[in-house]
Amino acid sequence: MAFMQWLGENGIPFSIVFTKADKLRPKSIENHIEAYKTILLESWEEFPNYFITSSSNYTGKEALLNYIDAINTDLDEQAANQLPFQ
């Protein structure tokens, strides 16, 4: 929590990845995330982007990989649009 607070205070974007979703029942996962949201929203305006994943049954894999790919594509485009001094 302290690290996420530091990231937020320093304007560093991040996402939360909740892992091992296969170990909990769906309602338990929801309850844990809601508890996390409640704590963070005490001092934050909005909850960061988040993913629920499981490596054993691939839950959330496609969404997380698509998100990472979109960020990388955006960063590549930003780098390509920066013109060097001539």
Closest CA to 48 of 62, 37, 34: 37
Class of domain 2-81: alpha beta
Which of 17, 27, 21, 84 has its CA nearest to residue 57? 21
Q: What is the pLDDT along the chain (86 residues), one digit of tens a residue?
A: 889 889 888 888 899 999 998 898 888 999 999 998 998 888 888 888 999 999 999 999 999 999 999 999 988 888 888 866 55
| Cα–Cα–Cα angle for 75, 78, 81, rounded to 5 degrees | 150
**Per-residue pLDDT at 85:** 59
Question: pTM of the prediction?
Answer: 0.77
What pLDDT does 83 receive?
65
Residue 33's pLDDT is what?
Answer: 92
CA dist., res. 78 & res. 45, Å (int): 27
